Amino acid sequence: MASQNYYDPADLKRFGNITEWSKELGEKFFEYYGKVFEEGALSAREKSLIALAVAHTEMCPYCIDAYSKDGLQRGITKEEMMEAVHVGAAIKSGASLVHGVQMMNKVNKLEM
Amino acid sequence: MLKEKKKKQQSLHKRHSDLAIANKQLEKLSNGIFANGELPTFSQKIKETDQFPLRPKKLEILQINVGYMCNQVCEHCHVDAGPDRKEIMTRETMEQCLKVIRNTGAHTLDLTGGAPEMNPDFRWFVDEASKAGIQDFIVRSNLTIIRANKKYYDLPEFFKSHNVHVVSSMPHWTRGKTDKQRGEGVFDQSIKALQELNAVGYGMPDSNLRLDLVYNPSGAFLPGDQASMEKDFKKALLEDFGIHFHNLFAITNLPISRFLDYLIASENYEDYMYQLVEAYNPAAVKNVMCRNTISVSWDGYLYDCDFNQMLELKVASKIQHISEYNEDILNDRKIVISQHCYGCTAGAGSSCQGATAT
């Protein structure tokens, strides 16, 4: 039965079901996803913190739940998690503010 | 708030909590999501891979619980141990255990509790048991006991003189996380105890005096990769406190006793059970510890593991007490299971010796 809410925490458990309507693409996605998070030039721990920061900038409640738990499982501290969230927030606010230069350029061009 | 804090310093038994009763725990683990078919029961799950009934392999580990008394009241404790627990193994039962220890084929003897050191006959028992020449003689020490009272200060030397393998709990390398799970001040005392163990040679690189740490997650989540956690623990404890240890065992919290109480109170029970079932790993079933272990309770009864002991699920054998111990008959039993068993088969598997399927 469809939920009355756009977001339902239980839907995260059903993420894997997306393969039901497109097996090939769904499976390719999950294979890629799994590979991305393996230990590489970056540690799995570093990747988890990046994912947590992006989860916040994307404002994805599923991803926030998933990577908060993932962080705890890896022994990542609350302080580290919050710093990662601030990195995301700083980039997000910086991304808004840097457009202020465009505004200034436009205003400077139009004004006498 | 104060009342809440005081409650946390008492066992479920002392609080007369429903969950102090083993049957109530078993009911909780069999009803709800497991009764309505939302999640498969453990027996259904292992049937899928033809692993039912679960049967023992060769006995390797004899684990003896010498009493539920402890100087700590950890939030996740599956024993519901604490200063208010009076169940203590008597010397008579220890003597029955010694007879078995002298004749067993097991290569590991594992003493646990509560805080095993609080049993008044602990030192006598270790002294006698160490004469049996068992290859690996483990004592599970909570560390703070070494600092709890003058009479325990010489424990590191005592362990050393009996070549005991010390296995100790440490939920995190930071004070906040450790104290939240194990009680205020536990982190600082544990660090001091580890330094004292190091000082007599325990845990030092190339030392034969084995010192391993046990990591239990401090909340409703599963342990991460054991090898990565070990790396992080080693780096932090060495950099911050100059502490060395050998191996880290990552152990999953099983949904029984105080951890079950926490899961229910924090409304994490269902999600946690989902996590365990989703992380089910058939390969971990092959090496699950109940297949190579016998657990003995303070009053001499026999169980498939320490968790079954706390759930009062005795071995399904005509031999149920250490006084009538017979390894061949015992090895012919079916292992008693319930939904808590998912805790030992999640992810890389979990046992008192850490991951089982790495």
Residues of B in contact with A44 (CB under 8 A): 225, 228
pTM (2 decimals)? 0.90
User: Which one of A13, A74, A77 has the shortest CB-CB distance to B228?
Assistant: A74
Angle at B97 between CA B96 and CA B99, to 5 degrees: 70
* pLDDT tens, chain B, 358 aa long: 556 666 667 999 999 999 999 999 999 999 999 999 999 999 999 999 999 999 999 999 999 999 999 999 999 999 999 999 999 999 999 999 999 999 998 999 999 999 999 999 999 999 999 999 899 999 999 999 999 999 999 999 999 999 999 999 998 999 988 898 888 999 999 999 999 999 999 999 999 999 999 999 999 999 999 999 999 999 999 999 999 999 999 999 999 999 999 999 999 999 999 999 999 999 999 999 999 999 999 999 999 999 999 999 999 999 999 999 999 999 999 999 999 999 999 999 999 989 998 6
Q: Is A13 on the interface with B (CB under 8 A)?
A: yes
Backbone angles phi, psi at B211, to 5 degrees: -130, 110
Q: Is A75 on the interface with B (CB under 8 A)?
A: yes
User: Which one of B174, B177, B221 has the shortest CB-CB distance to A69?
Assistant: B221
Could you tell me which residues come within 8 angstroms of residue B163 by beta carbon, excluding any fewer than 6 positions away? B130, B137, B208, B209
pLDDT in tens, A76-96: 999 999 999 999 999 999 999
| Residues B310, B22 contacting (CB under 8 angstroms) | yes
pLDDT in tens, A25-50: 999 999 999 999 999 999 999 999 99
Distance CA B137, CA A34 (A): 41
| Among B71, B210, B230, B223, residue whose Cα is nearest residue B152 | B71
β-pair partners for B167: B140, B212
| Residues A102, A73 contacting (CB under 8 angstroms) | no
Q: Are strands B293-296 and B302-303 parallel, antiparallel or unpaired?
A: antiparallel
Dihedral over alpha carbons A79, A82, A88, A93 (to 10 degrees): -120
- List the helix and strand counts (H, then E) for chain B: 15, 8
| Among B153, B155, B157, B106, residue whose Cα is nearest residue B129 | B106
| ipTM of the prediction | 0.78
Mean pLDDT of chain A: 95
Q: Please indicate whether, in this complex, the C-beta atoms of A74 and B217 are within 8 angstroms of each other.
A: no
